[in-house]
Amino acid sequence: MALLEVRGAVKRFGGLLAVNDVSLDVEEGEIRGIIGPNGAGKTTLFNVISGALPLTAGTVMFRGETISGRKPSHIARAGLVRTFQRNAMFPKATVLENVMLCRHTQIDENILKAVFGIDRAEEERNLARSREIIAFLGLDGFADEQAQNLSHGHQRVLGIANALATEPKLIMLDEPVAGMNPAETDMVTDHIRRLRDEWGITVILVEHDMRTVMGICEKVTVINFGEKLMEGTPEEVTHNPAVIEAYLGSEEISL
Amino acid sequence: MRATAFGLVFLAIVAAAAVAAPYSVSYYQTEVLILFLINLILVCSYRILTTTGDWSLSHVVMMGVGAYTTAILSKYLELSILLTVPLSAVVAGLVGLVMVTPLIRTRGFGFFIASFALGEFVRLIWVKFRDPFGGPRGMIGIPNGEIGSIDFFMPVPYYFFVLIIAALCLSVMYRLDRSRIGKTFKAVYADEDLAESVGIDVPRYRALAFVTGTFFAGVAGSLLAHRLGAVDPKNFDINVMVYLIIWIVVGGSATFWGPILGLAVMTVVFEVTRPLLEWRPLLFGIILILFLVFMPGGLESLFTGLRERLVRRRGSEGEG
């Protein structure tokens, strides 16, 4: 049984079929790339898997449980988290506060506990783990910096840190290296690989930067006009005429 | 560390002034102070809602729920003030829970209008049902309350009773604001989609803020009913709600202290403009507009701006 099973996912916006009968299996420990031209429906696919948008038809199973129809917060609790294409963060909070705030899934909270003293041990554990996540992504030098003052690259990494704070089994990254320079891109690519290798987190990423996708994904799913065009290794995908046609309309994908 | 010490000294001064106050002012001024303390609970409870971005227009009505509950409990059931205050809070919280269930489906302007409509619905129930709510004229003859031999008819003992309750409520609300829940409320406001994606059940937290706020509004309403000895639907109409909004706009709502500052300043303005009676709504309207245009962060933004500048200067000195 795959970690994530998408079966016949359909998302319709009025007359537009943004996602049309997409099925997808992602195995535990995979780094899966989802590519496709602009407007192919990649982000919509993310939104319906993570619960941000309701499915028109189809089901999504995660760890053997149906998660379609549930709220994003419940899905995050089940261990599936997504990042955003925009730099989503709490801008006025520091990097450390951001990560601490996002550890909601790990905390059993109630109002009495909030008012009449906190669980010090739990608070300490949280702080320690938050620092660990920040250090893992190389943000430790900015722990006390307000998120809004970070560079674009660091803000994108903070987005990943916030998602990791939920202790996911599967993380879905929406264009993690968008707008980054080559050095930053290499750094994030390295983080993604270590996420899987060291922390055992399964990764799905939507990305435009072909070099990144081809560099770290073992398997790539190509989406075009809301439909799954093909699935295969980066090698197979880059040499498939249909993919080349959809993507570039030319002979070859430049790496 | 220095900030904590400063805070403690400041708190001690405020406490001393609060204890000494009724002995150095007239009875009338003591009544004003009692009203100020009740409004203090009200304005702080309203801020809880605003931290999630839900600017409700029904908050004063929820205070009214507390007041009417107290009127019924103390007049018909002759319950002690020690019971009416907490029970009124619970009833207001429960009514808040019923109201927030549909309200949670709305956001922003929709929430604003829907909360107004639901609030008016509750007010209409008071107007329509003469029994037990007294209809448009409301209810009179609500006991002032007493504890043992201390009769709360006189303002000074009641002042101290309200002072203790207000201190209790404010410290609970302050701790809530500083707690993880308080921070989560603000996270919900700052970025709803992000909050939901990292496992924060946004509707649940918005409901929690609403119910907690209405609970404390119920306390304020109960204390008010005992003091006035009467409640009437007009005490809790949209005019009073506008005053509540003015306090928060003038003070600001980003910090716990902003609404308190706003209430203090506007209470003074209210008292010194008593001779201008019919001009007062105009004056308050102008103040509201001036603040919205020229100081949208409220008076507290003067202090937070000052602190930021100090921190930045200290930071640059450290670097240099």
User: What is the tens place of the pLDDT at every residue in B1-50?
Assistant: 566 788 889 889 999 999 999 898 998 999 999 999 999 999 999 999 99
Candidates A101, A108, A169: best to mutate against B (most CBs of B within 10 A) is: A101
Per-residue pLDDT averaged across A153-165, rounded? Answer: 95
Q: Which amino acid is at A219?
A: K
| Same domain for A107 and A156 | yes
Cβ contacts of B202 on chain A, cutoff 8 Å: 73
Which helix (H) or strand (E) segment holds residue A10: the answer is strand A4-13
Q: What is the pLDDT of residues B223-256, one digit of tens each?
A: 999 999 999 999 999 999 999 999 999 999 999 9
For A228, the domain range is 1-79+170-181+202-255
Q: Nearest by CB to B196, which of A73, A107, A114?
A: A73
Mean pLDDT rounded to a whole number for chain A: 90
Instruction: Tell me what pLDDT residue B318 has.
Output: 43
The reply to whether A74 and A175 lie within a common domain is yes
Same domain, A243 and A124: no
Helix then strand then coil, % of chain A, to nearest 5: 40, 25, 35
- What is the DSSP code (8-state) at residue A1? -
Same domain? For A163 and A174 the reply is no
pTM for the full predicted model = 0.91
**Burial of A15 (C-beta count, 10 Å sphere; 0-12/13-18/19+):** exposed
Q: Which of B181, B183, B198 sits opposite A162 (nearest CB)?
A: B198
| Residues A34, A142 within the same domain | no
- ipTM associated with this complex: 0.90
Where residue B53 falls (left for φ over 0; alpha for ψ -120 to 50; beta otherwise) is left
B123, containing H or E segment: helix B109-128
- Residue A74 contacts B where some CB pair is shorter than 8 Å: yes
What pLDDT does A190 receive? 94
Would you say A77 and A25 are in contact if contact means Cβ atoms under 8 Å apart?
A: no
Residue A212: predicted pLDDT: 84
Q: Does A71 touch chain B (CB under 8 A)?
A: yes
Separation of alpha carbons B42 and B166, rounded Å: 10
Domain total of chain A: 2
Domain end point (choices A167, A191, A219): A167
Mean residue pLDDT of chain B comes to 92
Q: What are the CA-CA distances from residue B35 to residues A61, A223, B87, B255, B258 (Å)?
A: 57, 65, 21, 23, 19
φ, ψ (nearest 5 deg) of residue B33: -65, -40
Helix (H) or strand (E) holding A224: strand A219-224
Residues of A in contact with B318 (CB under 8 A): none
Q: Which of A81, A109, A162 sits opposite B181 (nearest CB)?
A: A109
Whether the upstream peptide bond of residue A72 has omega within 30° of 0, thus cis, is no
Interface test with A, best of B44, B191, B194, B301 (most A CBs within 10 A): B194
Q: Nearest CA of chain A to the CA of B62: how many Å? A: 21
Q: Within the 33-52 window of chain A, which residues sit less than 8 Å (CB to CB) from chain B?
A: 50, 52
| Mean pLDDT value of segment B161-179 | 95
Which residue type does B265 have? V
Q: Place A245 in a pLDDT band, splitting at 50, 70 and 90.
A: confident
Contact B55, B73 (CB under 8 A): no
Contact A89 B194 (CB under 8 A): yes
B-chain residue closest to A72, CA distance: B197
Q: What integer is the mean pLDDT of B89-118?
A: 96
> Does B194 sit within 8 Å of A84, measured CB to CB?
yes
- Is the CB of residue B214 less than 8 Å from the CB of residue B63? no
A13 bridge partner residues: A16
The nearest alpha carbon in chain B to A126 belongs to: B180
Same domain, A71 and A174: yes
Q: Could you tell me which residues are beta bridge partners of residue A32? A: A204, A219
| C-alpha torsion angle, residues B56, B59, B65, B66 (rounded to 10) | 140
Task: Read off the CATH number of the domain in which A145 is found.
Answer: 3.40.50.300
Size of interface A-B (CB pairs under 8 A): 82
Is the same domain home to A234 and A214?
A: yes
pLDDT digits (tens, 9 = 90+) for A21-49: 999 999 999 999 998 888 888 899 999 99
